[in-house]
Structure 1
């Protein structure tokens, strides 16, 4: 007996929903049979390029339905696909290419072509390159057109990685989280319950595909339930409102700044958002949407990370409890442990560790980190929490310092390393300053080499061209010395000196 895989989902949907729309993306509107045909063509094209079980495909582009057909193709082959952060620099792209070692790279010219070409000059790898936003020889569509729609039937292990998402830097470099087919099916099952997803659901993939959030809310649930996934390359308020109106979108991955823009330009004569479920951001819609009565909408929030397939602990289970994060998904097990792995008593803080169908297969090519983090059959999250008397979990904060800017997680060490590469910088430390729009604003505290001179603007530009722009400092403070405690940078002292605060934890819930 074999388990149902992601590949089996599209195989069955083509029979069960032959007339239903699976995909909408600009000029593409595909039924489930048409979409599964494209998945099969993509699988054969990847095979022809040398991709087999355990091999890797890299996506260097913005949000597109092609990521989902590559996901389906890789699921049928036992391979894996990684949608990289398209906002990265050429140097960062090259790092991912060298680290991930893909057999095929599918790339985009629009907006990021210069960075991709820079990466091709820097990388040590020699993959097959297909451009997806063009036609003719060398294009993604050209590669697919040469292939048959015959299904590449074969047994695939449900515990093989299929989706890889590079997380924010740990130890100064990003790490690719290996999400298996079992992980994604567990995610879809959980989200289907929490959001009441059905075959009638229409989800707008308006979030970045290099984040877990778009997949969890609600792309995978809609995929598994046979609904419609709609894709938009870039999030612009007017265009998003038009798509929601035209497609009868029932849910979308939207952040408050975009929602606020949409409410400001909303025109009842042109726009219709009556089918839309607002989730936790319903109040931001300023009365345009009714209350969301699903478990996710009524009791939003929880605790999770990419490595546990998104949220492993959710307020939607058992109602909002004493803790701020709720209770574990039925497909997850959670303990609170001390440094030796012993379970802590009720009310005593410790590390949150997770086991079950939601735990990823580790990081790509990081055996040392995997041994450290996946001990005794439990994934060690490096996050602190406690179990409350009613059994719910309270998330306290990260054991590794993190700054939250809108939807982005920024780990200081990566930006500090970048700043310290500047010849004028002796030492740098990063703190987060509360920001009413973006949660936190990034502030750098810098000590210069004796006699050196550099402006704040020069240091910000130095970071902008070397790392993703959202990670760069917004402001810079110059000091003679970075304060230390036990030989390490004293971030608490820096917060006190320069108004730092608002870090994930306390009354905030990490997602």
Structure 2
């Protein structure tokens, strides 16, 4: 095993940094209140042409917390947040804590089937969403019945004055019938603060959903301790200060966006720049206007910025600290992007269950490349973190041998929401079995080789094949279906499906792609579908995804 404290060689990469981080805040709410006390009039959020100060964010979250309580929200309840990278995300997140509860973070690309599962599984009693998402998706889900009693809506355009047609074409401001306008709640706020609540470091702060070995999404219980610790990790590991400006390039519902954008901004009292959703040309303009200094994003986002065609000389010069996670970086790509951005893009590695980083390349250090595989290292374990490389029996393998990463530390979640069996399997004794395989070299650098299971990694988003297959099986013409990940120059991997048809039934590949697109988030549905006479199987009838992957490689 290796820890930062046990490896003296790390001192030469990060001189002066402590091997152990001492928690400064018991809860994320304490951390936020410290920001308000220290920088009340400083912009907390810049959203296109609009901004919200820390004092304004405090008042807005007070207003929503008061209304939540008035609507019956009580300690331990959950508020589902189903929005894009909008100021409403932070208002809802903080309001849920002020009301004594937690937030459930939901991907705004999720369709009705996915939204219903997450609302039902989390038992959320309130929902905060964009008006168009309510109209197009949530209204029908709630009509079917759920635990949600109160719905707040906000326009995608609220909080900014430039209605950018690249993002908001056809979007209008309105408050759907049966919902409460968040803007009106904030505007009518009388200045009263919500009653004091008793939150502890081990209380759940957010539920973030991830897929596991069963293929069903599981709610990772991200605690206040988890969030505050890894916010400090980012600050100390990279050397960030209150003078930094954070570029919110990752979706805020994702663990990277939550910790590396929202939590680090609150901890630093730094301004967070967001722009609804990722659009390369829009973000180039935001960088030019707001001059951010730090961000963490998928490598595909950096590639898109570099290739947007709208950048001018000097646009990227403010970006001093760049990190990438979610998908491996090819050394050649890292070199090309460094030439464009003028700054080296450091690897960082973690999972939803580790609240973002468990490993990272120390700031200012270039990650080594494994001579045999050509892989770029994902870094070394961060503060207070123990990472073992183990075999199937849980025994540590020798240095240089491939095994599964097993991680322990204050950033590891205590378990999955209402799933004790999954918790016992995946986090035995508090040690996370990541499902990712790789190795550690003699200097303690870690290299990610492959995924232990069949999970597909598309632009940093994890896609479980069985979920896609289940949707395909809902088509009346499908007899059998198998889904795999195939290489994609832009996304790293993309989803491909193989299907056989029922006798006498017909369907085209384009028709089946459209069938899935209508029922799944954009990153999940298969971009290509191949109709075959029969799928390869074992003697017991199990479909062999491995054979399909091998066939694709051989093409």
Q: TM-score band (shorter)?
A: 0.7 to 0.9
1:27-51 CA-to-partner distances (Å, cap 9, x unmatched) read 6423322322223223222222222
Are 1:308 and 2:354 an aligned pair?
A: yes
Change (3 A) 1:19 1:114: closer
Change (3 A) 1:467 1:275: same
Which position in structure 2 is the counterpart of 1:365?
A: 418
Change (3 A) 1:441 1:32: closer
2:311 to 233, 241, 266: 266
1:249 to 269, 292, 316: 292
2:237 to 180, 186, 194: 194
Which position in structure 1 is the counterpart of 2:43?
A: 21
2:222 to 164, 167, 179: 179
Aligned pairs (5 A) from 1:147-296: 148-150=191-193, 152-168=195-211, 170-252=213-295, 255-262=301-308, 264-268=309-313, 272-277=315-320, 279-280=322-323, 287-292=339-344
Are 1:461 and 2:524 an aligned pair?
A: no
Give the match's secondary structure for 1:242: helix
Residue 3 (structure 1) shift: 4.8
1:245-292 CA-to-partner distances (Å, cap 9, x unmatched) read 222222345503431343x11245xx7433123625775557453224
Give the Cα–Cα distance (whole angstroms) in 2 for the partners of residues 191 and 497 of structure 1.
42
Which position in structure 2 is the counterpart of 1:505?
A: none
Give the match's secondary structure for 2:217: strand
Residue 444 (structure 1) shift: 0.8
Which position in structure 2 is the counterpart of 1:60?
A: 82
| Larger CA deviation: 423-432 vs 340-349 | 340-349
Change (3 A) 1:2 1:348: closer
Residue 421 (structure 1) shift: 2.1
Aligned pairs (5 A) from 1:95-110: 95-110=117-132
Give the Cα–Cα distance (whole angstroms) in 2 for the partners of residues 201 and 152 of structure 1.
33
2:543 to 481, 485, 489: 489
Which position in structure 2 is the counterpart of 1:140?
A: 182
Give the Cα–Cα distance (whole angstroms) in 2 for the partners of residues 238 and 386 of structure 1.
38
1:347 to 383, 392, 400: 400
2:386 to 322, 329, 333: 333
| Larger CA deviation: 416-425 vs 12-21 | 12-21
Change (3 A) 1:332 1:253: closer
Contact preservation (8 Å) 1:404, 1:440: yes
Residue 231 (structure 1) shift: 1.9
Give the Cα–Cα distance (whole angstroms) in 1 for the partners of residues 282 and 349 of structure 2.
32
Contact preservation (8 Å) 1:315, 1:321: no
Which position in structure 2 is the counterpart of 1:80?
A: 102
Aligned pairs (5 A) from 1:341-420: 341-420=394-473
Give the Cα–Cα distance (whole angstroms) in 2 for the partners of residues 127 and 400 of structure 1.
38
Give the Cα–Cα distance (whole angstroms) in 2 for the partners of residues 108 and 500 of structure 1.
45
Change (3 A) 1:495 1:72: same
Give the match's secondary structure for 1:301: strand
Give the Cα–Cα distance (whole angstroms) in 2 for the partners of residues 266 and 204 of structure 1.
16
Which position in structure 1 is the counterpart of 2:486?
A: 433
Change (3 A) 1:147 1:370: farther
Residue 4 (structure 1) shift: 3.0
Count, aligned residues: 492
Relative contact order higher in (CA < 8 Å, ≥ 6 apart): 2
Aligned pairs (5 A) from 1:32-51: 32-51=54-73
Change (3 A) 1:267 1:342: closer
Which position in structure 2 is the counterpart of 1:509?
A: none
Contact preservation (8 Å) 2:414, 2:430: no
